[in-house]
Amino acid sequence: MQSSQSKQWDIFCKVIDNHGDLGVCWRLARQLAALGERVRLWIDDATALGWMAPSGHDGVQVIDWLAPSALRAAVAQPAPDVLIEGFGCDPAPELVARFAERPGIAWINLEYLSAEPYVERLHGLPSPVFKGPGAGLTKRFFYPGFTSATGGLLREPDLMERRSRFDRASWLSARQIPWRQDERLVSLFCYEPPALAGLLARLAENRQPTRLLVTAGRAAQAVQALQGSAPLLHGRGALSISYLPYLTQPDFDHLLWACDLNFVRGEDSLVRALWAGAPLIWQIYPQDDDAHHEKLNAWLDWLGAPPSLRLFHHAWNGFGDTALPEPEMHGPWLETARDARARLLAQDDLITQLRKFVTQKS
C-alpha cells in the first residue's frame, strides 16, 4: 500500500544476461513496490520477464527503454525521487535532464556483487557528474556485499518463514519430477563449466543414486551436448537427469530449497543459494584477464570454505588442470553453508539499507 511518504523510484537495467542483471533489478523493483514505493523499471529487453515473473507486480510499471513514446511520457511526468542505475548502465539522457531539475534527488549506482576488499572502501562514496544533462549532480556508489560495511543482499522479509514451510516432496510431485527417497537431489544452473563431464561421471559412478535437475537454457544445452557424445551417462549407473522448464523466481527458490547441493552461476542465483542454506558451488562469470580468480577466492575466504570445497570451486571454474573431486552434500560443506546464512541473516538486507541510504543522502 502506497503512502504519502512513498517515493518514486526509477530503476534502469540493460540486459546483458537475462538471468542476472534483470533478475536482480526485478527483485529490487518488486520488493520496493511491496513496501509501498512507486516503481518504474526501465529495461531494454523485458523478454525474460515472461517466464521469470509472468504475473508482474501491481506496484511495478515496466517501461521499454527503447520506445521513444515511453521516454516522452516519462519526461512529461514529475521527476522521480530516486534514480537507480543498475550496474553502470547510463540511464536515458532525457530522463536524467528531467531528474536534474529537481532538488533533493538521489542518484544511486547499484554495483555488482563482490567480496573483495575494495567494496567496503567504495560503498557509499560520491561520484560527481561532470558531463551531459546530469552535470552538477552526484551519484553514490551502492555496493551489495557480504559484510556489515556493505549494502547487504536482497532478502524478502518473509523469506525464511517460507523456507521453513517448504515441502520438497509436494513441490517435486506438483512439477512431475520423479524422485525416489534414496536419491540425492542436485540442481544445475551453469554456463559451460570445463569440469561438467567430470561431474556427470562422478555422479554416475557414485554408490548413492543422484537425480540431477538441469535448468533450461545454457545448462541444459551443455549437458545435452555431453549426452550426445557420451550417451551412456544418462539412465546408467547412479545418475538420473531431469530437464526443467524455465522457472519463475519463486520456483527457482523452490528448486534450490529442494536440493541437497546447488550449482549456481552469476550473481542473483548465488544470493538465492546462500539463503537456501544447502551446500553450493558457484560458477563465477569468466573474465579475459582472469580477474574472476581473485573475486572467487575473496568470496571463498569470506565463506570460510574448507579445503575440499575450495578445491572443488577451483576445478569447477577451470583454475589449472586439477581433477574435479567428489562433491559433498553433508558434513563441512553443509555446516559452511548454514554458518554463512546465519551470518548474513544477522545483517540488514539490501532494501532496508538502500532506503535508509536514500533518505540520508536526499
Catalytic residue among 10, 253, 267, 268: 267
Catalytic residue among 10, 21, 268, 349: 21
The whole-angstrom distance between residue 89's C-alpha and the CA centroid of its chain comes to 17
| Cα angle, residue 239 at apex, residues 332 and 322 outer, rounded to 5° | 55
CA gap 266, 273 in Å, rounded = 11
Q: Please, are residues 48 and 216 in contact by the beta-carbon 8 Å criterion?
A: no
Q: Please, are residues 263 and 186 in contact by the beta-carbon 8 Å criterion?
A: yes
Respond yes or no: is residue 267 known to be catalytic. Answer: yes
Task: At 262, give phi and psi (nearest 5°).
Answer: -120, 125
* HEC string for the chain: CCCCCCCEEEEEECCCCCCCHHHHHHHHHHHHHHCCCEEEEEECCCCCHHHHCCCCCCCEEEEECCCHHHHHHHHHCCCCCEEEEECCCCCCHHHHHHHHCCCCCEEEEECCCCCCCHHHHHCCCEEECCCCCCCCCEEEEECCCCCCCCCCCCCCCCHHHHHHHCCHHHHHHHCCCCCCCCCEEEEECCCCCCCHHHHHHHHHHCCCCEEEEECCCHHHHHHHHHHHHCHHHCCCCCEEEEECCCCCHHHHHHHHHHCCEEEEECCHHHHHHHHHCCCEEEECCCCCCCHHHHHHHHHHHHHCCCHHHHHHHHHHCCCCCCCCCCCCCCCHHHHHHHHHHHHHHCCCCHHHHHHHHHHHHC
Give the residue numbers marked as catalytic: 21, 267
